[in-house]
Structure 1
Amino acid sequence: MSMVMIAEASTSRFAPLFLETGFPLAIMGMVVVFMALTVLILIISSFPFAMRRLELVFPESNHHGAKPKKQSQPAPAVSDDGTIPAHILAVIAAAVAETESGPVRIVRTRHLTTSELAWTLEGRIRHHASHRLQTRNR
């Protein structure tokens, strides 16, 4: 075979790649996909702006359909006469005593017995069984 025939055979074999179904189609497909992704990004990033606008238009609107709970005021930490109540003083004293008790030291460790392992295993089995999904008939 001459070189001309080899060149013609190789160009005819790869001709579909350069015509309407090859690289031009692949490039056009990638352009369309990236344009669609860009539009999707713009739509999703506009959601916070749209929500702020909706809250300005409908400020009393409740989006979940539930009645809003009335929030109770917490008890003041200082009473009217300027003293701290006894129950708050007890909590503060317990926190100070705990921080000043020094470092904690592990005195002893032991392996679980077989009966303790059985209880642990039973608890795990029941916990996992409570999360089992219901099967649906299809």
Structure 2
Amino acid sequence: MISSFLHPLTLGISLNFSLEPLWHDTGIPLALMGMFIVFFALIFISMFISRLPHIMAVLDKYLPQAEQLLNPPKPREGEISDEVIAVIAAAVSEALGKPHRIIHTRELTSRDMAWPQQGRWQIQTSHIPQK
């Protein structure tokens, strides 16, 4: 059985194997050029990222509004920020099913919270714990 594998098969096919195509247009020189381009691009990207803080410092001199966009003014004491008002408007619109406009906002005081606190107290004390 092993001896049958050692005999060459004659099917009339001749194979010519050569490493010569690897050295022409589509072989190793093309692969090396591709690797060179990739490494050059990676070096360029890493140099750009390392210089980015300096580039941003120069841009801040010519574009001072960019700092104002990144750091918006803080709302005054007792005021609600625009972002919170936008979230409240979205929540109201979602809850009611149609868009609404917020006209006035203010923080609740302890006087405003008296009725809800009393209601919670009554609900929580209405049950007698069993021993």
TM-score (norm 1): 0.36
TM-score (norm 2): 0.37
